């Protein structure tokens, strides 16, 4: 009986020592996290984690950005965009990408419910003449990184363009990028970026899936040059379009069996944002062409960033999560109409993109 009590006392003492040791460790960890948070806040990053900032530095160690995680929410993009459009033609003109980069740098690349307020307050201060974007970001060590990264993601989406109305071309300024699904066609989606895929080999899902009906018109998000067209065993019938500045590569996959592409689409050709480029299907997962091995009808669209041509293919590819961007682009959907007697759909309102016209003009000059 005495031995049992003695053993019980020893066990109790050991537990007390372990509990004290755990408490000491917890205090040390909390102090370390607090120090890191305060150090980050003092650098003007709004309490962003130091590890996030170090990743930004390492990402540009070789002279170009090697990694980007784009976490801007639909709400933050909408607020920054509205500030940009509302101030167009005025002084100062607020740039939506600069506002997003400011919010990103403040919180180490993370966005939350407070990001919209942060953007709105910064815009108001600049409009009131209390400060400038240069002054706001002057002490932010990683602002330039976020500005370059976000400009690579969004750089071609806002600007001047013209729309045809009753035979007259009218100029506008605003969102000239489109949702990848034509107006009037339903779809469902969720954030599936990074989910596992097993066909061929285990890999993460580096795009965004939009589920709908076979034949749904697929629209070019941004104007650019058709760089890839044809069959891929993973993506089935697919299209690759490169932005004119070369930094964005748009990938549209699993297009319709037998009739995947819009008439006239060809490699090297130029498309304007909002053009119908193809049709939703479920082709892919086969080395044999024109096979429907994908269970669910959907469009897979992806956005790859290219800061250096070595990143185009291989282990250095940068793909960003397009879920929030897809939600934002919903505000601009290109309307399409059926071409009678065919399987074709065409956009209803023609658009002129100055960047597309500039590219075609330069290409013609080079040929001559």
Reference 341, options 273, 237, 263; nearest CA is 263
pTM for this structure? Answer: 0.83
C-alpha triplet 58, 59, 62: angle, nearest 5°: 85
> How do the pLDDT tens digits run along the chain, 368 residues long?
434 444 444 454 445 454 444 444 444 434 433 333 333 322 222 323 233 444 554 555 578 999 999 999 999 999 999 999 999 999 999 999 999 999 999 999 999 989 999 999 999 999 999 999 999 999 999 999 999 999 999 999 999 999 988 889 999 999 999 999 999 999 999 999 988 877 777 778 899 999 999 999 999 999 999 999 999 999 999 999 999 999 999 999 999 999 999 999 999 999 999 999 999 999 999 999 999 999 999 999 999 999 999 999 988 999 999 999 999 999 999 999 999 999 999 999 999 999 999 998 887 666 65
Q: Which residues, other chains included, contact 159 with Cβ-Cβ below 8 Å and sequence gap of 6+?
A: 173, 176, 354, 355
- Domains defined for the chain, CATH in brackets: 74-154 (no CATH), 174-367 (2.70.70.10)
With vertex at residue 286, the alpha carbon angle to CA 284 and CA 287, rounded to the nearest 5 degrees, is 125
What's the distance, CA 93 to chain centroid? 24
Looking up tokens 């962003």 gives 48
Say how far apart CA 166 and CA 164 lie, in whole Å.
Answer: 7
Residue 50 burial (CB count, 10 A): 15
Residues ≥6 apart with Cβ < 8 Å to 36 = 49, 50
Contact 236, 281 (CB under 8 A): yes
What is the distance between the terminal CA atoms of the chain, rounded to a whole angstrom?
Answer: 105
């Amino acid at each position: 009986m005495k031995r049992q009590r003695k053993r019980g006392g020893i066990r109790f003492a050991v537990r007390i020592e372990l509990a004290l040791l755990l408490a000491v460790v917890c205090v040390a960890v909390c102090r370390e996290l607090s120090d890191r948070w305060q150090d980050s806040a003092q650098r003007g990053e709004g309490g962003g984690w130091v590890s996030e900032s170090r990743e930004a530095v390492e990402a540009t160690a070789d002279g170009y950005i090697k990694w980007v995680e784009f976490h801007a929410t639909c709400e933050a993009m909408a607020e920054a965009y509205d500030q940009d459009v509302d101030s167009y033609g005025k002084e100062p003109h607020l740039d939506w990408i600069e506002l997003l980069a400011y919010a990103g740098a403040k919180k180490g690349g993370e966005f939350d419910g407070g990001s919209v307020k942060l953007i709105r307050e910064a815009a108001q201060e600049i409009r009131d003449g209390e400060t400038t974007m240069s002054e706001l970001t002057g002490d932010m060590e990683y602002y330039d990184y976020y500005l370059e990264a976000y400009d690579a993601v969004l750089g071609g989406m806002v600007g001047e363009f013209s729309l045809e109305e009753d035979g007259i071309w009218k100029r506008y300024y605003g969102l000239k990028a489109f949702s990848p699904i034509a107006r009037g066609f339903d779809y469902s989606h969720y954030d599936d970026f990074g989910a596992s895929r097993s066909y061929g080999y285990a890999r993460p899902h580096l795009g965004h899936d939009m589920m709908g009906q076979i034949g749904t018109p697929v629209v070019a998000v941004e104007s650019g040059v058709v760089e890839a067209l044809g069959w891929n065993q993973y993506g089935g019938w697919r299209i690759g379009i490169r932005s004119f500045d070369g930094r964005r590569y748009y990938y549209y996959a699993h297009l319709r069996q037998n009739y995947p592409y819009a008439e006239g689409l060809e490699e090297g050709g130029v498309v304007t944002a909002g053009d119908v480029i193809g049709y939703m299907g479920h082709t892919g997962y086969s080395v044999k062409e024109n096979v429907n091995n994908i269970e669910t009808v959907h469009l897979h669209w992806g956005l790859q960033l290219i800061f250096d041509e070595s990143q185009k293919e291989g282990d250095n590819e940068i793909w960003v999560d397009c879920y929030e961007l897809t939600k934002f682009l919903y505000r601009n959907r290109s309307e399409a109409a059926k071409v009678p007697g065919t399987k074709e759909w065409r956009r209803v309102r023609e658009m002129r993109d100055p960047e597309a016209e500039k590219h075609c003009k330069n290409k013609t000059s080079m040929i001559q």
